[in-house]
């Protein structure tokens, strides 16, 4: 595998379910990001991790819970979601968020539908 | 706060047509500017960037010039191909941190 991978690619869940999204990067990067992409809206940055430490939580509701066990893996745990949380969730990585370049590498995303 | 505005889509062109996708920005400092592209079923990829006024970013036949006087970074290509069909995102970053501010995206359809 190369680049940034995300699983699953599609997920349908009820509002009472608990599920997790997984992201893995094979680029040797140290920073990882979660974004939410909704139709007709700009990408929304949700969380940033650098060297496994969370450095940004962009006022995200607590029903979204990130986890970064190491620099290569990032999870987004989901519980009691709302229909308005349906979106494409994108993971990205960069070399080191303390040395910003504006260059981030994105995975293909997980299309989430909350019913 | 900083923001990016780009033209609404979708934009539909015939193959070999000239492409312009407009992008303007608002920023308090001197940001770096980017165009990212998202092909169907894929994540975003950096297409080109410019880090200071009058810089021209270019890649794969696409070009954009950082115009400070008009706060613009329009994307152009002289002859588009069907394979250019994608969503294009204009973006900026002040590089004080690793946050990128994206526009809403412009969907481009190229007809054969």
SS3 A54: strand
B93–A100 C-beta distance less than 8 A:
yes
- Better pLDDT: A7 or B9: A7
B101–A42 C-beta distance less than 8 A:
yes
Mean pLDDT is lowest, of A46-60, B9-23, B47-61, for A46-60
Per the rule left: phi > 0, alpha: psi between -120 and 50, beta: everything else, B65 is: beta
Select from A6, A9, A36, A42 the residue whose CB has the most chain B CBs within 10 Å, as the one to mutate to test that interface.
A42
Chain A residues close to B96, C-beta within 8 Å: 100
* Buried residues in B29-66 as b, exposed as e (16+ CB within 10 A): eebbbbbbbbeeeebbbbbbbbbeeeeebeeeebbbbb
Question: Mean pLDDT for chain B?
Answer: 94
pLDDT at B98 over 80: no
In chain B, which residue's Cα lies nearest the Cα of A89? Answer: B43
Choose the closest CB to B43 out of A42, A98, A107: A107
């Amino acid at each position: 595998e190369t680049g940034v991978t995300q699983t699953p690619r599609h997920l349908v869940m009820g509002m009472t379910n608990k599920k997790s999204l997984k992201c893995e990067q094979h680029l040797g990067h140290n920073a990882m990001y979660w974004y939410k992409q909704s139709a007709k809206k700009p990408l929304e940055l949700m969380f940033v991790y650098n060297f496994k430490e969370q450095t940004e939580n962009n006022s995200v509701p607590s029903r979204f819970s990130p986890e970064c066990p190491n620099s290569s893996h990032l999870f987004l745990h989901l519980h009691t979601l709302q229909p308005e949380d349906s979106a494409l969730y994108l993971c990205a990585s960069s070399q080191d968020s303390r040395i910003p370049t504006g260059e981030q590498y994105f995975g293909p995303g997980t299309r989430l539908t909350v019913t | 706060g900083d923001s990016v505005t780009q033209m609404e889509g979708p934009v539909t062109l015939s193959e070999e047509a000239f492409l312009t996708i407009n992008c303007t920005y608002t920023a308090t400092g001197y940001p770096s500017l980017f165009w990212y592209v998202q092909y169907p079923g894929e994540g975003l990829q950096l297409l080109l960037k410019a880090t200071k006024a009058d810089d021209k970013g270019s890649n794969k036949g696409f070009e954009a010039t950082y115009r400070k006087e008009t706060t613009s970074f329009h994307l152009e290509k002289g002859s588009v191909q069907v394979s250019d069909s994608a969503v294009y995102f204009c973006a900026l970053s002040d590089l004080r941190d690793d946050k990128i501010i994206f526009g809403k995206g412009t969907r481009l359809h190229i007809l054969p």
